[in-house]
């Protein structure tokens, strides 16, 4: 993977540089040799042609030399000057020549001045041949050196193609070397963090939740996002493991809780249908009562399962009507205390207002309050005092001075399938009561909070202040 990414990056770099080099050569060619030259390019490209063509503007008659009007215009246009030399190299005519231009040229001096720009200060000269009026004269034209200059190129005609090939190949080799070097250094900075990102993603796919370094760089935001994803997945995995463990524990417990009453129902049913067993009417009624109680217990467990599933998946039809929250809670307390198992519980009901309007599903709210009050009763000693209070807002508070809830259990109090360690064998329940209560409160746009301290007591607060009241 590493070398595949690196090779692709290097290839892109090399191709880009080669194409740039070719494009540069093409543009250079057309800039200097193609198209219509700009005014400042015309002289540098065409000075030799201008010099040769200038012979047409020189007139020779009776050893007298003159320039026609066009010739004077050419000299003025290009800032040029001219000297006409006789067969001996002596000047016989000049126009606009500089002061340091010699009046006599030896062959060597003429060649030297012609070959090197600036030999006559500030000018580059070109030489033309003038054959007119039976004479073979020569003339020199000078052009400003900042407009046109010369450079010598020496080559062997027999090896020119080979030399050009070597030059091009050498240039390409140098370009490739630099391209590979630049590409490698750039790819190392780019590919290395990219590989780390890929490794991090592969680790997440395999369940390895490692942290990515979030240093400055191209992938800083990517690494930060991967870290957030890693934290989220790790949290979800911990929650999944915890839920799975609780569910397995719950399945084991609920299986036991269902098996126990089933065993009783089966046993007493076998006694009732046994024709050889003679029983009194009192015994028969006792056995039937036991079977009924066990059946009701099993039905309650199944109803809890059904309700929590419906609440979780929003399948419960909420029938909201205008209610007086005081009446709803008071009736719930009365119904619970009328049960023979809880008629000795010390529960005090108070309300700051006699009427607290509340739009709700009465049956569900009573179920939630009943579950909370039931837990306060069965998980505390018999002498525990419990206060059920309604405050404006509205708020519903259930406060007791019982043994409290350990912090470890308080954090899991509303988890589905969880049963605290202080649950007695008599009141095992389904493990869904508190979760159901929380779901019902949240369905009514409320919030449930629990505060507890060991050996001091517990306060459960239902907050409906965010709910629209009627």
Q: What is the pLDDT of residues 324-338, one digit of tens each?
A: 999 999 999 999 999
* 185 within domain boundaries: no
Q: What is the DSSP letter of 466?
A: T
Do 337 and 407 belong together in one domain? Answer: yes
How confident is the prediction for the chain on average, in pLDDT? 81
3-class SS of residue 174 = helix
Q: Which DSSP string corresponds to 343-368?
A: TT-EEEEEES-S--EEEE-HHHHHHH
pLDDT of residue 132: 82
Q: What is the per-residue pLDDT for 104?
A: 93
Give the model's pLDDT for residue 140. 94
Would you state the pLDDT for residue 5? 55
Instruction: Give the pLDDT of residue 83.
Output: 94
Query: Residue 106 to residues 22, 48, 93, 110, 371: CA-CA distances in angstroms?
Result: 46, 22, 17, 6, 125
Beta strand 64-67 pairing with 91-95: unpaired
Do 341 and 389 lie in a common domain? yes
Residue 418 falls within a domain, yes or no?
yes
pLDDT of residue 208 exceeding 90:
no
Establish if 303 belongs to a structural domain: yes
CATH number at residue 246: 1.10.287.130
In the chain, how many domains are there?
Answer: 3
* Residue 342 shares a structural domain with residue 272: no
Residue 166 pLDDT: 81
pLDDT of residue 9: 63
Cα–Cα distance for residue pair 262/274, rounded to 1 Å: 18
| Cα–Cα dist 39/52, whole Å | 19
pLDDT digits (tens, 9 = 90+) for 86-144: 989 999 999 999 988 999 999 889 888 888 888 888 899 999 998 887 788 999 999 99
pTM (2 decimals)?
A: 0.46
Q: Which range has highest mean pLDDT (50-54, 239-243, 258-262, 297-301)?
A: 50-54
Q: Is 113 domain-assigned?
A: yes
pLDDT at 164: 80
Domain end marker among 310, 338, 362: 310
| Model pLDDT for residues 422-433, shown as the tens digit of each residue | 444 444 456 678
Measured at the CA of 342, the angle between CA 463 and CA 282, to 5 degrees, comes to 145
Cα gap 415→433, rounded to integer Å: 10
My answer on whether 56 and 73 are in the same domain is: yes
* Phi, psi at 187, each rounded to 5°: -65, -35
Query: Does the pLDDT value for residue 294 go beyond 50?
Result: yes
pLDDT at 422: 46
Could you list the residue range(s) of the whole structural domain that residue 129 is in? 39-144
Last residue of a domain, one of 128, 144, 160: 144
Looking at residues 453-457, what average pLDDT do you find? 92
What CATH number should be reported for the domain holding residue 447?
Answer: 3.30.565.10
398 with 448, same domain: the answer is yes
């Amino acid at each position: 993977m590493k070398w595949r990414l690196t090779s692709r990056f290097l290839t892109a770099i090399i191709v880009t540089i080669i194409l740039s080099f070719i494009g540069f050569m093409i543009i250079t060619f057309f800039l200097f040799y193609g198209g219509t030259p700009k005014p400042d390019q015309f002289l540098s490209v065409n000075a030799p042609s201008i010099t040769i063509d200038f012979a047409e503007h020189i007139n020779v008659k009776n050893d007298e030399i003159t320039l026609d009007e066009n010739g004077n215009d050419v000299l003025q246009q290009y800032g040029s000057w001219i000297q006409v030399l006789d067969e001996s190299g002596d000047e016989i005519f000049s126009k606009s020549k500089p002061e340091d231009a010699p009046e006599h040229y030896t062959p060597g001096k003429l060649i030297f001045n012609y070959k090197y720009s600036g030999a006559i200060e500030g000018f580059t000269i070109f030489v033309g041949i003038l054959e007119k009026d039976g004479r073979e004269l020569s003339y020199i034209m000078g052009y400003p050196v900042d407009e046109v200059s010369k450079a010598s190129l020496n080559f062997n005609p027999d090896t020119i193609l080979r030399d050009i090939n070597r030059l091009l190949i050498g240039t390409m080799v140098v370009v490739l070397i630099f391209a590979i070097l630049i590409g490698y250094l750039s790819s190392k900075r780019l590919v290395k963090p990219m590989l780390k990102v890929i490794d991090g993603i592969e680790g997440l796919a395999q369940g390895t939740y490692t942290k990515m370094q979030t240093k400055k760089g191209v992938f800083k935001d990517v690494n930060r996002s991967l870290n957030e994803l890693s934290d989220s997945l790790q949290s979800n995995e911990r929650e999944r493991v915890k839920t799975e463990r609780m569910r397995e524990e719950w399945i084991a417990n609920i299986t036991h809780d269902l098996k126990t009453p089933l065993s009783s129902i089966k046993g007493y049913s076998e006694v009732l249908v046994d024709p050889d067993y003679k029983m009194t009417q009192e015994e028969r009624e006792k056995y039937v009562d036991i079977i009924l109680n066990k059946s009701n217990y099993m039905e309650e467990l199944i109803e809890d399962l059904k309700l929590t599933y419906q609440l979780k998946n929003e399948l419960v039809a909420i029938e909201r009507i205008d209610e007086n929250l005081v009446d709803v809670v008071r009736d719930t307390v009365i119904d619970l205390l009328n049960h023979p198992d809880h008629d000795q519980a010390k529960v005090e009901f108070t309300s700051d207002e006699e009427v607290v309007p509340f739009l709700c599903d009465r049956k569900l709210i009573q179920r939630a309050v009943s579950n909370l009050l039931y837990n306060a009763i069965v998980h505390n000693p018999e002498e525990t005092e419990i206060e059920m209070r309604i405050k404006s807002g509205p708020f519903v508070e259930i406060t007791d001075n019982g043994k409290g809830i350990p912090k470890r259990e308080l954090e899991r109090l509303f988890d589905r399938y969880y049963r605290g360690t202080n649950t007695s064998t008599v009141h095992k329940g389904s493990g869904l009561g508190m979760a159901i209560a929380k779901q019902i409160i949240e369905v009514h746009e409320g919030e449930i909070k629990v505060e507890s301290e060991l050996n001091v007591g517990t306060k459960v607060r239902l907050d409906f202040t965010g709910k629209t009241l009627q």
